[in-house]
A and B are shown apart, each in its own frame.
Chain A
Amino acid sequence: MSRPRIRLPDSASPGEIIEIRTLIDHPMITSLSSPQPRDMLATLEARMNGETFFVYDFDNGTSANPYHVFFARVEETSDFEFVWTHENGETFTAQGRVTVA
């Protein structure tokens, strides 16, 4: 469970705005209408060379297996890190690199 998958282009030109897709397997149990204990991710944070450029704050209305499409403007070859943080503090990460020629 909670195996993140990401899709990034391998390369980009300087200043290009790239599309990023992320998916993580997670039940996202709110326990609002079920007896199961709450089991929810709190945030998805996307970083480019260590700088946060996009965040999603999860609340009760997010589907199971959260999927996101968002963008980044890349100026130079960049290391990307995607961090999902559970409400209990546990984290799940995925990494990627976009080469700027």
Chain B
Amino acid sequence: MKFDRRAFITASAALVGVALLPKRFAWAELSDDVADALRAAIADREVVEGGIVLDAPDIAQNGASVPVGVFVESPMTAADHVREIRLFATRNPSPQIGAFRFTPASGRAEATTRIRLAEGQEIIVLAETSDGRLLRVSATVEVTVGGCVT
């Protein structure tokens, strides 16, 4: 999958103003297990909104297999790379979906997989950089036929 770098950079630039402000989650809107999973991942660190391209369909026909791509612009050097990108579901029986772990030899902080969504919901993505920054984006995916999380 190729992301549109130009659109991404433009969007990033537009976001800088708000992105510099630490963003607090609307914890109250999250179920306890989702909030706990996110708290465990974030601890007491500051989270910056944006900086991650999340490629997920607006509407997924089949919740059992929803393609999801993630990308963070990064030089992927020893000194400056993306270490991990984690996916969370807000309305699945369990919030953890999975995690991509990268190294400088990954070359790009970009990966795609297929996930299960029991129903339409918000997906939350957290990325951690080698200097300890945490980025966050989310997207809502409507699901036509729920993916039974067998």
Contacts and interface: CB of A to CB of B under 8 A. Distances in A.
A68 B111 contact: yes
Interface residues of B, number: 37
Contacts of A54: 100-103, 106, 111
Contacts, number: 119
Interface in A14-71: 17-18, 27-34, 36, 48, 51-64, 66-71
Given A63-B147, A64-B64, 13 more contacts: A30-B149, A36-B150, A52-B103, A55-B101, A60-B149, A61-B87, A61-B92, A62-B116, A66-B114, A69-B1, A69-B112, A71-B108, A73-B104
B74 to A, nearest CB: 12
Contact of A71 (B87, B95, B110): B110
A6 interface: no
B149 A59 contact: no
A61 B110 contact: no
Interface residues of A, number: 34
A71 B92 contact: no
A94 interface: no
A57 B115 CA distance: 13
B137 interface: no
A92 B92 CA distance: 28
A33 B115 contact: no
Interface in B72-118: 76, 87, 89, 92-108, 110-117
A72 interface: yes
